[in-house]
Amino acid sequence: MSRRPPAVPKADDVGGEAGAPLVGIVIVSHVAALAEGVVAFATMQARNVRVVPAGGILDPATGEFEIGTDATRIVAAIREADAGAGVVVLGDMLGAFIAIETAVTDILPLEDPDLAARVRVSGGPLVEGAYFAAMQANIGESLDDVLENADAAAALVKLER
């Protein structure tokens, strides 16, 4: 028996309370293009949600993104994604989670404790978790519900054997 994530709402089923802020999402990846691609995918049907990429490390000499993660860039992305309802952060691999933890537990609480209290980190899969989180945020679900859906994507059965 496997747990399946909840049904995905239709694209036009958006809202929640009129004018209420929606949960934002940050996508952390070692590769900038991967983070940007996940953002593009997650926002195809969840256009009202702030989904912000934080991928790669900017090389100041070249202006290009190298492979890696940057905690200060993650903090900036969290600030950009927050509309007042909180932010769910998803990452691609172990190193991303080290940078996420540094951003969320070391930097952000010192700079903005109120925002830090509204940030949750998902251990769900990057692509599926981002998609389910964005869809739930788009219909006005709470921060904890959006996190739960991002995490639940790990139980998604892609192929029955």
High-pLDDT (> 90) share of the chain, %? 84
CA separation, residue 68 to residues 40, 43, 92, 148 (Å): 20, 24, 11, 27
- Give the C-alpha separation, 32 to 128, whole Å: 18
pTM for the predicted model, two decimal places: 0.88
What pLDDT does residue 18 have?
Answer: 63
pLDDT in tens, the chain (161 residues): 334 344 444 334 445 556 789 999 999 999 999 999 999 999 999 999 999 999 999 999 999 999 999 999 999 999 999 999 999 999 999 999 999 999 999 999 999 999 999 999 999 999 999 999 999 999 999 999 999 999 999 999 989 98
Q: How large is the C-alpha radius of gyration of the chain?
A: 15
pLDDT digits (tens, 9 = 90+) for 97-121: 999 999 999 999 999 999 999 999 9
Relative to beta strand 64-66, strand 57-59 is: antiparallel
CATH (residue range 24-93+100-154): 3.40.50.510
The SS3 assignment for 55 reads strand
